[in-house]
Structure formats: structure tokens, C-alpha cells
Amino acid sequence: MNISHKDYQRFAGYYEEYFDQVYRYTYFRTGRNKDLAFDLASEVFLKALEKFHTYQEEKSAFKNWIFTIARNHIIDFYRIRKVEVDIEDVTQLLVAPETIARNLRISDDTALVLCAMEQLPEAQQEILQLKFFAELNNQEIAKVLDKTEINIRVIIHRAIHTLKQKIATIFSPLHVQNVTRTQLQGIITPESSFSS
Amino acid sequence: MSLEHNFRELSRQKAPFLAKTRLRARLWWKFMGMQLHAGKSVFSLIGRRFAVSFVAVLAASSVGFTSIYAYHSDEVTAFNFLYPVKQTLEAWVLAVAQTPTEKAQIHLDLAQKRTREVKKIIENNKKIDSATVIAIKSNNEQAVVAAEQITNSDEKRIITEQIISSSEEQVDTLKEVKAEGIKIAAEAKDISLEELSKPEISLGSSEAIVPGPPATGPTVEPATTPETIVASVPELQVVDNVLSETKKLNGSKEIKKEDGNPQTSTGAVVLDSLLESVSLSTNSP
């Protein structure tokens, strides 16, 4: 199905407005892999353009629609492909917060928060990423994840609570070894596997 | 520091600008591909934009070619609607001239252009445009003044020679224009050319004297001559004036003082000193 030039102009406007948010979402979802994040975000918008004729503004806001596509695309990416986890992706998560702070040009305590966040369960991480990086509100997150708004609010509350606890204990000398093992375990999910 | 602040800091991460720009182009190409796939022809896709661009290029080219034509053509005279374009371009060319040599050359070219235009006007329109005629004189004067400022003696000599040879051509053209102007004025007054060529009969000649006529008797009007026609037509007076000034440029070394009038032309005075300075520099060891 085809879209008119006017529709394309509208789509171009949405691209300008939401691309950075989608990019941030894919960036943190892929463990801060810039190239992969950009490729995935690009593919999301290319796919969205193909399907733009099916989009109905009165049924759903563009933001919800594009993040639904983005989420599904990332899941498909890790499911369909046998992901070879590059040692660099692993080491990225093992670097000290100071290095992360320098690479991302953020403050040290923000880097600590990021490290702590990456230790949260996947579901909590995703909701926090949608909330704070993709800048979706609770209602929009609920639509994207097909959950209720109350559910989302509860998960966010628990996630913040756990995050604060982790920040309090993160990277203390007594916990270095354990933290490292946990971070490695965090990478090995049912969707990905190491190559031998 | 609050968590909210930390998250806000993290949300400052943005995609690389150039990569975003490339993706924008990629999205557009994808859209074009979708249109072609849907069966639309390339021309209908690019048609309107191409047509607008084509028209814009055509318009710009037309303006460019028209300007070039206006600048170079002698047909574009003061009675032509493109004349302001011509004048604007000439003013620009003069403005960008930096050395006295360039300025002298340009003024000389302009004087020659105005001369050709005057001839075209009288051929096509049967008129004389006083402003164009005066411009011949002013451009000649400007050329002489600019030549005076040239420091290089060889360049000065070349420009001086050009001024003199150009003035000879101008004199010939202005004589033709004056003659044509007199003819047109005579025809307008129903005076035949044969009558114009007759010598003037004035009071006191043997043919006219009748002994003892009363002083209050009828007077004999002087016959119409080219000079009287020139005197009666302001435009012809302007041509005559410029002609005499240009003659001074032409034969400045042996200036003939017409009717005992002293030299008043700035151009002639300056050209004299110019020629002197050139001869001095060529004669010097």
C-alpha cells in the first residue's frame, strides 16, 4: 500500500521528533552499543515507513506505535539471530564507572546509577528505560508493553527501590567479584548465547 | 544528587547528526521506491519539482542572457526598456575597476558605446537623445582624467593614443548624426535640401539693395541655413557642442580656437598635459 507525499511529510516530522528517543531506547537496550543501536533505530523507522499506511492517529499516538515497533524489533533481533556476544560488549559492562562517565560524558554518580540499573531484572530495566530515556509516561508504557497502568506504576516503584539499594552497595571493595559475576550472568539470557 | 537528575543526564545521549541526516535521505529514497513500486511513473514523482527547478533555471538563464545582450548590444538605446539593465551593468563594471588604466579604458569604451547609440537612435527613432550625447563628452573627460593618473608611462601612452583615435571616430559619427538631425529638422519645417544648400542672402548684398527704400519697408528674412536650424533645435545644439569638444581631443596639439573662444574643455586641457607628460617620458633618456 502506498502513502501520499503529504503523509510522507507527516512521517518526516515524526522522525525528527522521535528518532533521538528511539535511539536512546535501543542504545541502552543493546548495552550501550552505539553502532548497533543506530542500526536498530534506523530499521525501526524504515519498517515504520513501510507500515505507515496502517497507522491510524485516532487509535494510537505515534509515540506508542513507534515504540511498539521498536520493542518488537529488538526482541526479534535477539531471537532470530544467534547472537555472538562480542567480548567488547561484555567488557563494556565491566568497565569502571569512571570510564563510563568519561565515555558518555556524564558525572561519576550518574555512571554509578547506570551500572546499578544494568543489574536490575530485564523487565524493570526496560520499563525504566522507556520511562526515563524514551520519555514515555506510564499510560504510554502500559500500551507499549500491553500491561495496565497500575501494573507499570508498581513495577517502577519496585525498580527505583531496588536501584537505590544497589547504588548504596555498588562497587564496594567487598562486592567487586560478586558484582562482576552477576554482570556476566546478566548478559546470558534465553535470547542470547555465547559462541563457543 | 537525585535519581531524576541522573536519568536526565543519561537522556542527553543523542544519535550522531550526520548519521541522522543520512538516514533522512535513506527514508526519502525508500519513499520514492515505494511510489515507483506502486506504479507511479518517475515523471509524475519528480514532475512538479523538476518542472519548478527547470523553470527556475530557465528564468535565471533568461535573465543572464538578457543582461549580456543588453550590455553588449548597440540596439539597446535610451528608448529601449532594457536600457536601465545596460546602465546598471556598466555601473557595476566601472565600480569593480581598480586601476586608473582600467578606468580610463572603461570610460573610453562607454564613450564609444554612447556614440554608436546616438547613431542608432537617429536611424531608428529619428530623434536625438541629449543625455546620450552629453554622456559621450563626460566619458571622454573621465577617460582623460583617469589617464592622467596612470603612473606607467607605456600604459599612459597607449591610452592617450586610444583616446585620440577614438575621438576621431566619434567626430565622424557625430558629424553624420548632426547632418541627419539637420535633415530631419528641415523636413519637419518643410524646407528642402536644395534651399539649405543655398548661400545665405543678407541685408547689404548687391542683390538685395533697392535704392531709397523706406526704413520701415518690409525686411528680408535671412535664408534658412544648417546653422540656423542647429541654433533653433536644442538637441542639435548639444550635438554641436559635444562635436566641438571632441574635436579638441582629436587635434589637441594644434587646437584651433574657434570664434576666438578660449579653451574651456577640461578634457582638452588635461589631454594637453597628458600628451606633454607622455612625450617627456618618451624623450627622457
Say yes or no for a CB contact (<8 Å) between A15 and B27. Answer: yes
- pLDDT of residue B52 exceeding 80, the answer is no
Name the DSSP class of A193: B
Say yes or no for a CB contact (<8 Å) between A2 and B27. Answer: no
What's the confidence (pLDDT) of residue B59? Answer: 81
Separation between Cα atoms, residue B116 and residue B132, nearest integer Å: 10
Return the residue of B nearest to A5 by Cα. B31
Is A173 inside a domain boundary? no
- pLDDT of residue A196 exceeding 60, the answer is no
Task: Find out whether B246 and B169 touch, Cβ atoms under 8 Å.
Answer: no
Nearest to B13 among A104, A107, A109 (CB): A104
Mean pLDDT over each residue of chain B, to the nearest integer: 77
CA distance A133 to chain B (A): 5
- pLDDT of residue B285 exceeding 60, the answer is no
Is A116 inside a domain boundary? no
What's the confidence (pLDDT) of residue B284? Answer: 46
Separation between Cα atoms, residue A123 and residue A127, nearest integer Å: 6
Return the residue of A nearest to B25 by Cα. A12
> Which segment of A66-75, B66-75, B95-104, B215-224 scores lowest on mean pLDDT?
B215-224
Is B9 inside a domain boundary? no
Say yes or no for a CB contact (<8 Å) between A2 and B34. Answer: yes
Q: Please report the number of interchain residue pairs, chain A to chain B, with beta-carbon separation below 8 angstroms.
A: 78
Looking at beta carbons, which residues of chain B come within 8 Å of A66?
none
Return the residue of B nearest to A46 by Cα. B27
Report the range out of A24-38, B57-71, B225-239, B252-266 with the highest average pLDDT. A24-38
Say yes or no for a CB contact (<8 Å) between A38 and B6. Answer: no
- pLDDT of residue B42 exceeding 80, the answer is no
Q: Which residues pair with A193 in a beta bridge?
A: A84
Q: What range defines the domain where residue B150 resides?
A: 100-197+224-250+267-280
Amino acid at B174: L
Is A52 inside a domain boundary? yes
- pLDDT of residue A137 exceeding 50, the answer is yes
> Which segment of A145-154, A169-178, B165-174, B207-216 scores lowest on mean pLDDT?
B207-216
How confident is residue B57, by pLDDT bands cut at 50, 70 and 90? confident
CA distance A168 to chain B (A): 13
Cβ within 8 Å of B, A 125-154: 128, 132-133, 135
Q: How many distinct structural domains can be found in chain A?
A: 1
Locate B121 and state its grid cell. 537612435
CA distance A1 to chain B (A): 7
Return the residue of B nearest to A13 by Cα. B24
Q: How many distinct structural domains can be found in chain B?
A: 1
Say yes or no for a CB contact (<8 Å) between B15 and A2. Answer: no
Is B152 inside a domain boundary? yes
Task: Find out whether B232 and B182 touch, Cβ atoms under 8 Å.
Answer: no
Say yes or no for a CB contact (<8 Å) between A107 and B27. Answer: no
- Give Cβ neighbours of residue A140 (< 8 Å, ≥ 6 apart): A61, A63, A64, A67, A130
Is B75 inside a domain boundary? no
Say yes or no for a CB contact (<8 Å) between B13 and A49. Answer: no
B interface with A, Cβ–Cβ < 8 A, is 1, 3, 5-16, 19-20, 23-24, 26-28, 30-31, 34-35, 38, 40
How confident is residue A63, by pLDDT bands cut at 50, 70 and 90? very high
What's the confidence (pLDDT) of residue A155? Answer: 94
pTM of the shown model: 0.46
Is A16 inside a domain boundary? yes
Percent of chain A with pLDDT over 70: 78
How confident is residue B232, by pLDDT bands cut at 50, 70 and 90? confident
What's the confidence (pLDDT) of residue A169? Answer: 77
CA distance B33 to chain A (A): 10
**Tens of pLDDT, residues B131-146:** 889 999 999 999 999 9
ipTM of the complex as predicted: 0.74
What's the confidence (pLDDT) of residue B237? Answer: 87
Return the residue of A nearest to B23 by Cα. A42
Say yes or no for a CB contact (<8 Å) between A132 and B11. Answer: yes
Separation between Cα atoms, residue B107 and residue B100, nearest integer Å: 10
Kindly state the average pLDDT of the residues B60-69.
84
Q: Domain holding A77: CATH number?
A: 1.10.1740
What's the confidence (pLDDT) of residue B53? Answer: 78
Is B53 inside a domain boundary? no
Name the DSSP class of B191: -
Answer with the residue of higher pLDDT: A56 or B220.
A56
- pLDDT of residue B254 exceeding 60, the answer is no
What's the confidence (pLDDT) of residue A83? Answer: 57
How confident is residue B196, by pLDDT bands cut at 50, 70 and 90? low
Say yes or no for a CB contact (<8 Å) between B14 and A20. Answer: yes
Say yes or no for a CB contact (<8 Å) between A132 and B7. Answer: yes
- pLDDT of residue A152 exceeding 90, the answer is yes
Say yes or no for a CB contact (<8 Å) between B13 and A132. Answer: no
Amino acid at A135: E
How confident is residue B207, by pLDDT bands cut at 50, 70 and 90? very low
Looking at beta carbons, which residues of chain B come within 8 Å of A49?
27, 30-31, 34
Among A121, A132, A130, A118, which Cα is nearest to A89's?
A118
With 0-12 / 13-18 / 19 or more C-beta atoms within 10 angstroms meaning exposed / middle / buried, residue A188 is exposed
What's the confidence (pLDDT) of residue B248? Answer: 82
What's the confidence (pLDDT) of residue B187? Answer: 84
Kindly state the average pLDDT of the residues A188-193.
40
Is A174 inside a domain boundary? no
- pLDDT of residue B62 exceeding 60, the answer is yes
Is B41 inside a domain boundary? no
Is B94 inside a domain boundary? no
- pLDDT of residue B147 exceeding 80, the answer is yes
CA distance B27 to chain A (A): 7
